[in-house]
Amino acid sequence: MYGPDFAADPAAAYQRMRRFGPAAPVQLAPGVDATLITGYQAALSVLRSPETFVKDPRRWRALANGQVPMDSPVVPMMMYRPNCLFSDGEEHRRLRQVVTDSLERIDPNELRGYVEESADTLIDQFCARGEADLLAEYARAIPMLVANHMFGCPPDVGERLLAGMSGIFDGVDAEKANEVLTQALVELVALKRAKPGADVTSWMMAHPAGLTDEEMLHQLVVLMGAGTEPEQNLIANGMRLLLSDDRFAGSLSGGSLPVDDALDEVLWTDPPMANYAVHYAVHDVDFSGLQLREGEPIMISFAAANTDPTLASDQRAGNRAHLAWSAGPHACPAQSSARLAASVAVEKLLDRLPDLELAVPVETLMWRPGPFHRALIALPVRFPPVAPLAAGTSHASASSAPALTDETSGETSWNASPAPSSSTPPAATFTAKATGSAPAGRRRWWNSLAGWWRGR
């Protein structure tokens, strides 16, 4: 599951694996063996059975005995970290509660406003050129800007965080990438201990669970990792689908929502995290005829499970039964925010550049190798040049969105109501936001329909 061949056509690889049944033996990297769960019901069985399948990688026998070296490219993605992703039982509940309590303080209206403002700022940097790489200049940048703001992270630290996470996902000098990531997070934790603000990092630190600096660091690995690399892939893969698939370029009849439908399709067929959720059996298990050994990695293929031929229906528009956000006790706690940010980013781009089109044939687009993600290398597009927004005009549809320069001050709060539970102290709230007008100019079907849905 490494190298360009798998990256170019993972669907063909999953089809070959299915001859083994719902679980298949795979190699994640040279010398790293695992079992990949490719069946939908089989995946749910593993994800929803924490009494049999656990997450703690310290059970990984091949890593513990040195058979898999620490410099293997997949180790930083699979190694033990004291966070909610790699823990079980009561420890998992304690660490996850910190995450859910803190994320619940983010107001979706403010998140939407900040994504819109970030999007406008980025689009202004290339809209007059008539061409762009949407991955490098847009899809990659928006999650970093939003994450920096949400977590109170200085831009230079955020750039190193993103570089470290990208290296880990790609498995290219992953050990060095992990060092870059760790050092950046050490700086962020120290900064927030010294100067807490109205941000998710500070809220987690103030939580009654009393996280240590090490726990804080590794909780942030999960949250910022999931909020940047997979989010950029969701935005880019959604744009690729909208610009290349005739099903999303038809008439308005039927009243569907093209952007939401495209994201549903991507989450079913090309989820940004294609394969992950590594588990370990607590004892040998006979699993659909395949023996799952204690201490051997069991990885869930969200992409293969979602496209399991045994699923009753391939109707994906509006269907949220996919496993792109995982399932069970370790299901993604930030899925609503992640989907909202991706939807707003795509809507804003199509709003501003209604005649956007791919600059190359879709079949020539290339994918980044790696067993975990589904990630484009580039997404070149072209469009009739348009002028940037007028100076002095608010970039966001909602004019009171936070300024892009406020990543470090902690003066802007993300919560619109008192703290969601008695375990988290309350903080200041946002003022109400005025509704702005849509950008002027010719609007294609996707812009008109999305605008109608939002009440414009």
- How confident is the prediction along the chain (456 residues), in pLDDT tens digits per residue? 998 999 999 999 999 999 999 999 999 999 999 999 999 999 999 999 999 999 999 999 999 999 999 999 999 999 999 999 999 999 999 999 999 999 999 989 999 999 999 999 999 999 999 999 999 999 999 999 998 999 999 988 888 888 888 888 777 787 888 888 889 999 999 999 999 999 999 999 999 999 999 999 999 989 988 888 899 999 999 999 999 987 775 433 333 457 888 899 999 999 999 999 999 999 999 987 888 999 999 999 999 999 999 986 666 666 778 999 999 999 999 999 999 999 999 999 999 998 999 999 999 999 999 999 999 999 999 999 999 996 545 444 333 333 333 333 334 444 443 343 333 333 332 333 333 333 333 334 444 433 433 333
Burial of 113 (0-12, 13-18, 19+ CB in 10 A): buried
C-alpha 264/C-alpha 322 separation (Å) is: 9
Bridge-based pairing of strands 298-301 and 32-37 is parallel
Cβ–Cβ < 8 Å for 275, 302: yes
Gap between the terminal Cα atoms of the chain:
46
Helix (H/G/I), strand (E/B), else coil: 300: strand
Cβ–Cβ < 8 Å for 255, 162: no
What predicted TM-score, i.e. pTM, was given to this entire model? 0.83
What letters, b where the CB count within 10 A reaches 16 and e where it falls short, cover 123-158?
A: beebbeeeebbbbebbbbbbbbbbbbbbbbbeeebb
For residue 306, give both structure tokens.
């979602």
- Non-local (6+) Cβ contacts of 326 within 8 A are 47, 276, 277, 300, 302, 332
C-alpha 6/C-alpha 8 separation (Å) is: 5
Strands (E), 128-273: 131-133
The dihedral region occupied by 327, where left means phi > 0, alpha psi between -120 and 50, and beta the remainder, is beta
Amino acid 54 reads V
Q: Where are the alpha helices (DSSP H) in 311-393?
A: 335-352
Question: Torsions phi, psi of 420, nearest 5?
Answer: -75, -15
For residue 25, give both structure tokens.
């033996």
CA dihedral 342, 298, 220, 214 (to 10 degrees): 180
C-alpha 285/C-alpha 52 separation (Å) is: 9
Residue of 210, 215, 202, 212 whose CA lies nearest to 414:
202
- Non-local (6+) Cβ contacts of 318 within 8 A are 260, 261, 264
Residue of 81, 45, 450 whose CA lies nearest to 281:
45
Residue of 122, 118, 112 whose CA lies nearest to 414:
112
Cβ–Cβ < 8 Å for 338, 430: no
Q: How many helices (H) and strands (E) does the chain have?
A: 17, 10
Q: Residue 317: its pLDDT value, please?
A: 63
Residue of 177, 184, 226 whose CA lies nearest to 372:
226
The dihedral region occupied by 346, where left means phi > 0, alpha psi between -120 and 50, and beta the remainder, is alpha
How many C-beta neighbours within 10 Å does residue 394 have? 16
The DSSP 8-state label assigned to residue 297 in this structure reads: -
Residue of 442, 441, 435 whose CA lies nearest to 456:
435
For residue 55, give both structure tokens.
């997450």
Helix (H/G/I), strand (E/B), else coil: 306: helix
**Which value, in Å, is the radius of gyration of the alpha carbons in the chain?**
22
Instruction: Look up tokens 């209206």; give the residue.
Output: 109
Q: How far is CA 257 from the centre of its chain?
A: 22
How many C-beta neighbours within 10 Å does residue 296 have? 18
Q: Residue 406: its pLDDT value, please?
A: 37
Q: Residue 429: its pLDDT value, please?
A: 29
Sign for the CA dihedral angle at 206, 211, 214, 220 comes to negative
